[in-house]
Structure formats: structure tokens, C-alpha cells
Structure 1
Amino acid sequence: MNSLERRSTFALSSIFALRMLGLFMIIPVFAVAGQTYQGATPALLGLAVGIYGLSQACLQIPFSLWADRFSRKPLIIIGLALFAIGGAIAALSSSIYGVIIGRAIAGSGAVSAVVMALLSDVTREEQRSKAMAFMGMSIGLSFVVAFSLGPWLTSKVGISGLFWVTTLMGTLAMLMLLLVPKVKRHYRVAPQGYLAQLKQVLAMADLNRLHLSIFMLHLLLTAMFIFIPSQLIKYAGIPLAHHSWVYLPLLLISLFVAFPSIIIAEKYRKMRGIFITAVIAIVFGLAIMALGFSHKYILLLGLGLFFVAFNVMEALLPSWLSKAAPIQSKSTAMGVNSSAQFLGAFCGGMIGGQLLSWQHIAWGWGFLAILALIWLLITFTLQQPRYLSSLVVSLPDTKEITEWTSVLLAIHGIEEVVVMPEKQVAYLKLDKQQLNEQTRQQLSQLINQQLAI
């Protein structure tokens, strides 16, 4: 990656991680610490935790539809501001109802898809998977850090102080956005009406398989993290306070697997093969835990296999989605995908709670393994994504940038031009297989350099 891509990837991954850190820190402590609020009941405590995901699932698609028509950065600022304001409202509340309102407002800043779409704007196609992998790893790390930090912080500043930390995270995330350059997108095909654009995205079979994949991935993850802690205590002899020392090494191991997988998937165009292999690994990981959950090292082996495969999938899915989605509807497709992710987490929480009530633990793991097997069968028909190439060019010495981009987009094979006026550069996203000798020469003249593709 070049310096601009590295800086933008760091900033946008930090925005994602800071939001997730603020969210995850509350989860392991709220069921206990939240009992001090006026009017608190188990049902209302659950609603206070879950309503964030519900707001996210409902508003991801509207935010993403707007992001395909307007500048993405102001929308991200609005979303982060809502996240920070919601945290402040929860921090100032003395009743459970105030916390619920604050959490709902925080969740209404549903800009996950917009952040991913902006990351795809400022990275070249060839570097996209690396950037998405870095973002996926930052989310995984925030998960581990949050579950370790949340209980400690609560003991120091209380539950209201934890909500103030959420507000601080949202404010820091807004500052990180200053590191990302301003971009202006130009498409070959103009965005359609909102409803038509959403229908187009929902009618694409491969996109729906990717939406199902993110749904299943987070359903299984959430169900597993509800189901497994008691087993780590009982069968592996690991106290709850030390569970982060199980997850952190697994995250580090997954780094050594995920990044080579991403490089192979992108460089050798093996994305489908890596994807299917990761789903198979999830099936095997769950099956191993079903067969050997009562043995410490078999349980950890199954958990490790699942965790590594999860992180590979977490990095691959956004990259594949950005390739498969129509360029003019990229944010919309990511919005649908993010909604599926949060719905998956919600369903996973419901299923995980039910599994805890089952007397036979093996049946619980077996049930999750069967769900993963059904997922594998559905996604096995996925087609290899379309691979575009990127070209970094300097902007011409003219003020008619719009006219220049229009001439570029008239060339068959040029799909999108992303202009960064502050840096005086543009990214051309193209299908080099559609270029012939004449269009190559025409493109060389327009960008004032010889093509090396």
C-alpha cells in the first residue's frame, strides 16, 4: 500500500475499532452493573443492550443509500456524533429508560457500511483485501481489549463512567477522520432512485449469498460466545477473568493465517477457494467442539479453528462485497450486508441463550455445526468475483475535472474515477481485459503517461 492508503486504512480502521470498543466494553458488565438503575428488570437490561443492534440494523440501509449520492465523510461525522450523544445521554441517566433511549440514539449512527465504502474509495483494488483485513483485525482486537478492559474500568469509574468513555471514543473517532482525504466519485452509470437501487442490490443472487454469509458468521460467533464461557470454566479450568488470555493468542495466530490467505486470494485470484475453505474450517471447528468439548485441549482446538476461520472470513467478506456490488450502489450493498450482520448477532444471542438451557452440550455444538453446514451448501454456488485493476494518476492542469472524468468514463473498461483534489491524484478503477490497443492509447494520452497494465 502507498502512504495515502496506509494512513486512510489506519484512520478508518481506528474509527471502526473505537466504536466497537465503546460498544463491547458494556456487554460483559451491564447485566450486573445495570441493576442499580431505577426501574431495572432483566428484560429491560436485555433491551438496553440489544436496542443498539436493532437501531443499527434498521438504519444501515438508509445511511448507505444516502452515501451513494452524497459525500461519505459528513455522513460518518453525523453517525459518530449520534454515537457520542447517545453515550452521554446514557451516562447522565439514573433510570433504565434513559439508558435505553441513549443506547437507541447511539445505535442510530449506523455508519459501518459508509466507513467501509469510504475505505474502498481510497484504496486500490489490488490493495483492498489487505485494507479490509487490517480493519477486520482491528475489530477483533477491540473485542478482546474491551472484554478485558470493561470490568476493570467499571470498578474504577462505574457504569455511568463507562458510558462517558463511549462518548470519548466517538469524539476521538471523529478526529481520526481528519486523516482521510476528501474524495469525489464519478461513475459510468449514475445512481438510480432509492427504491430501484435497493431492488437492484437485493436481486443479485451472489450478493444475497454474501449477506447470508455475514449473517451466519455473526450468528455463530455471538451464539458461541454466550455458549462457551461456562465450558471454558468447567472443562478447561480457565476462570472468567482469564478468558481474554484465551482469545488474545487466538487473535495473534489468526493474523499469521489471515494475511497470507488474503494475499493468495487477491494475488492468485483464489478468493472463492479461500472463502469456501474458511467455511469448511468453521464447520469442522464446531464439530470438534461437539465431539470433544469435555476435553480441555480438544475444546481449545475447535475454538482456535473457528476463530482463525472467522478472522479470515471477516477480512474476505467486505473485499468480495466491494468487488461484487455495482459500483454506483456499493454503499447500499454494504448497508444491506451490515444490517444482515447485526441481525445475525441478534439471532445468535437468542440462540445462544437457548443453548445454555439444553442439558446436552454436544447437541448445542452439533446444532451450530448443522447451521454452518447448511451455510456451506448454500454458498458453494458462489461465483468467482470480478477483478478490477486500479491506476493512480495525477490530475491534469485544468479546472475542468468533471469534463476530464467524463471523457475517461466514456472509454470502455473504465468503471469509476475517484478524485482526491487535495492530493491532486485520482484512482482509475478499470477492467483491463476490456481495453484494446486503441483505448489504451487514448487512455495514455488522457492521463499523460504510458500504461503499464
Structure 2
Amino acid sequence: MTPSPARMSARELRASLSLASIFGLRLFGMFIILPVFALYAERLPGWNLTLVGVALGSYGLAQAALQAPFGWASDRLGRKPVLLAGLVVFAAGSLVCALAQSPWMVILGRTVQGAGAISGVAIAMAADLTRPSQRTKSMAIIGATIGLSFALSFVAAPFLQHAIDVPGIFAMTAVLAVAAMAIVAWVVPTPAARRTDEPRVSFAAVLRDPELLRLNVGIFGLHAILMALFVVVPLALVRAGLPAGSHWGMYLGAVGAGFLIMLPFVAIRILARHERAIFLGAVGVLAAGLCVLAAAADRLWPLAAGLVIFFAAFNVLEAKLPALVSKAAPPSAKGAASGVYSSVQFLGTFVGGAAGGAIAQHFGPVAVLACCIAIAAAWLAIAWPMGEPAAHEPEPQEPHEPHEPQATNP
């Protein structure tokens, strides 16, 4: 029986939840370092803010370089084998960080972590396993899980730092990667073989597509801002009189409130009719939150208000952007579009971390926030001409459970 186009089938729900859990486990390990790493490095010899920024951002540089090759490989070898290989690499990098005795070994380990560049593959797999009418829901589930992982990681980080310190957190991240491998192997459905009669779209055409370009600029800016922000925010909280061991309360309130504000914008069906307005509004709110943080001047409650505003917008955008990319991408180029999107996302992570650290060291934290505000304002101007999102492809019937796909020749 054909499932209702208004509802996810059991297979689509299983695919969405299992892929979301893979994102969640992997990104929990990445996010959990952000609020504690600068404070950890501050007490070790050989570290400065520039090296902290490079260590935080090197993960993103490797991701940016390798998303497209991983996507290309998944088109030929199948999504699951490439997902598993990427998680093995990510786990190995986590262990290098856990055992590192110098800043450069941590940077090497973070780079190896980033070499497991599977985000684009996972997004393409979600598109393979869902009908167009359900794809926005699937991407929203993934995006919401990313936001939840973000919130949980910021709450858990101070406790875990106290219990097992940062090397222990890196070792725990390797264990989470192994758990994600088990989900890939035994829970995620296997996608059906891709059709060969769809019109081909060149990689250059994907890069030139104006809607995809706007979204790619957006994800670059969003993650550059995030990484730059957390070079300076933990230190600002300490200067405002909040001990590092008490940061969890600030993160619990700010990220949790932002997550609750995000939920209606991804779960209430009627709001989908106003997707452009919600998207542009969230970018504007993001800029407003950064302005509040810049004006806080190391005062605790203004910092708290700025973080709540920032995370409310961040969580909406983090949930919306993958769904919008899936809608805007041509059917035969979803893997390429997802790979480009993920590449620029992690390029933004690297640029934000490295540039944020250097700017903070030489010009101070207010200069970092000023640059973040400029990025958000430029993003709003670029995104403003976007139209109301519409899917490229017709609504097919849900595929039957396929056999394991065979590798195809390039």
C-alpha cells in the first residue's frame, strides 16, 4: 500500500532517526570541545589564542577539503561503506587528540578527525531514503538533532571536563564514533539503486545555481560565526565573574531556551508556507544577538541575553538550511549539492576558528564580534532575493526495501 504523502512511512522515519543519531553522536563529540577547550589550553605550556583557533578550526579545513571526494566515492561504492570508512577515520583522529602531548599533535588529531568527511554523504543518503514530500521533515529531524546535540554538549562539557578532562572527552568521542558505526551497519536502511535515466547536471551548474549559492554562503557564515564566537565567549564569561565550573548553567539556559524557541519553526506545518520569511528573520535575529553580545562588555546578564537570542536563531537556521538545500538541488545532483554544502560549512568552521583566534589575540574580543556582525549582515543582504523554496522533483512512491547496491563503474 502506498503511504500517505502527508505522513512519513515507518521506513522513512527509521531512516531519518537513525541518520539523525549518527549526526548527533559525531557532532556531540565535535561540539563538546567548544566551551572548554580555550580554558583547558590556557593552563598548558605552548598554547596561545591563535593555536587554540587553529586547533578548533583544523577539523573544518579537513572536512571542507574531503566532503566532495567522499561524496564522489559514495556514488560509486555505496553510501554505507563510505559512511563506515569516514567514522573509522574520525575515531582514529579522536584517539590522536586524546594522547597528544603538544599543541601540534592536537592540531594533527583534529585534522584527522575532520578527514572523516561524511556529512554530505549522510545528507545525500537521507534524500535517497525519503520522498520529496517527507524530505523537509527528515532534514528537520536531522537539524533538530544537531541542535539538541549542541545543547547537550554545552551542558555536559563542564561536568565532563571536571570528571575526565579534555583528553578523556576526546577518548569518549572515539567511543561515540564506534556506536555510530553500529547504527550505520545494522539500523540505517540500504538505499535503492539510483536511477540512470535522470538528466545529468554538471558540477559547475551546481556551483552556479543561485539558490544553492545563497544557501552555501549562509552555512559558511553561520559556522564561521559559531567558531569565532567560542574563541571569545568562554573567556568573556570568566571575566564577567562566572567561574568556568559554573558555565554549564549559562549554556543550559541559553542553548535550551534557543532550542525550545526553534521547535515551532520546524514542527508546525502551517509555518512551512512562510519559509522565506522565517529564514530571513532568523538571520536578522542572529545579527541582533551578536550585537547584544558585543555591547555586553563582560557583564553577565547581557551576555546571557545575547546567547539566548543567538542560539534561538542559530538552531532555526541549523535545522532549515539542510532542508532548503535538499529542496533546491536537482534530483540527479543531490550528492554533489550536499557535498558542496558540507564543504563550505566546514570551510567556515576553519576560517571562523583560525581567524577568530588571530583577531582576538591581536585586536581583542570586541573586534571578533564586530566581524561576526558584518558577516551576518552580508548574509542577510545576499539571502534577501531568495524565493519561496520549491522541490525540483516529482513525488514518487516510497521505494521497496532494496537489496544491497552493487558498486558501479565511474
| Correspondences of 1:72-111 after superposition (within 5 Å) | 72-91=79-98, 99-111=106-118
| Correspondences of 1:288-299 after superposition (within 5 Å) | 288-291=292-295, 293=297, 296-299=300-303
Distance 1:207 1:199 in 2: 12
1:451 is matched with: none
Report the Cα offset of residue 81 of structure 1: 1.3
1:332 is matched with: 336
Report the Cα offset of residue 287 of structure 1: 2.8
Residue 380 (structure 1) aligned with residue 384 (structure 2):
yes
Residue 71 (structure 1) aligned with residue 78 (structure 2):
yes
Distance 2:30 2:243 in 1: 23
Distance 2:164 2:294 in 1: 40
2:206 is matched with: 201
2:286 is matched with: 282
Question: Do the aligned partners of 1:198 and 1:332 also contact (CA within 8 Å) in 2?
Answer: yes
Give the secondary structure class of the aligned counterpart of 1:281.
helix
TM-score using structure 1 length: 0.76
Distance 1:246 1:93 in 2: 30
Distance change in 2, residues 1:366/1:231 (3 Å): same
Residue 137 (structure 1) aligned with residue 154 (structure 2):
no
Report the Cα offset of residue 172 of structure 1: 0.3
Distance change in 2, residues 1:261/1:370 (3 Å): same
Distance 1:110 1:87 in 2: 14
Larger radius of gyration between Structure 1 and Structure 2 = 1
Distance 1:201 1:253 in 2: 36
Q: Given the alignment, which residue of 304, 309, 313 partners 1:305?
A: 309
**What is the CA deviation profile of residues 364-395 of structure 1, one whole-angstrom value per residue up to 9, with x for unaligned ones?**
544432321121111111122223564545xx
Question: Do the aligned partners of 1:82 and 1:105 also contact (CA within 8 Å) in 2?
Answer: yes
Distance 2:335 2:394 in 1: 19
Q: Given the alignment, which residue of 118, 126, 131 partners 1:119?
A: 126
Residue 242 (structure 1) aligned with residue 240 (structure 2):
no
2:401 is matched with: 420
| Correspondences of 1:256-271 after superposition (within 5 Å) | 256-263=260-267, 268-271=272-275
Distance 1:82 1:95 in 2: 21
Q: Given the alignment, which residue of 7, 10, 18 partners 2:14?
A: 7
Question: Do the aligned partners of 2:63 and 2:117 also contact (CA within 8 Å) in 1?
Answer: yes
1:320 is matched with: 324
Distance change in 2, residues 1:221/1:86 (3 Å): closer
Residue 21 (structure 1) aligned with residue 28 (structure 2):
yes
Report the Cα offset of residue 360 of structure 1: 8.2
Residue correspondences, number: 393
Distance change in 2, residues 1:310/1:162 (3 Å): closer
Distance 1:150 1:190 in 2: 46
Question: Do the aligned partners of 2:26 and 2:177 also contact (CA within 8 Å) in 1?
Answer: yes
2:4 is matched with: none
1:220 is matched with: 225
Residue 180 (structure 1) aligned with residue 188 (structure 2):
yes
Higher relative contact order (CA 8 A, sep 6+): 2
Distance change in 2, residues 1:265/1:204 (3 Å): farther
Distance 1:94 1:141 in 2: 32
**Unpaired segments ≥5 residues, structure 1:** 394-417, 424-453
Report the Cα offset of residue 248 of structure 1: 2.4
Report the Cα offset of residue 422 of structure 1: 6.4
Question: Do the aligned partners of 2:56 and 2:350 also contact (CA within 8 Å) in 1?
Answer: no
Distance change in 2, residues 1:158/1:249 (3 Å): closer
**CA-atom RMSD in angstroms:** 3.3
Distance change in 2, residues 1:190/1:243 (3 Å): same
Distance change in 2, residues 1:191/1:373 (3 Å): same
Report the Cα offset of residue 280 of structure 1: 1.6
Deviant stretches of 4+, over 6 Å:
34-37
Report the Cα offset of residue 245 of structure 1: 2.0
The one-letter code of the counterpart of 1:143 is F
Distance change in 2, residues 1:120/1:360 (3 Å): closer
TM-score using structure 2 length: 0.83
Distance 2:373 2:77 in 1: 42
Give the secondary structure class of the aligned counterpart of 1:60.
helix
Residue 229 (structure 1) aligned with residue 234 (structure 2):
yes
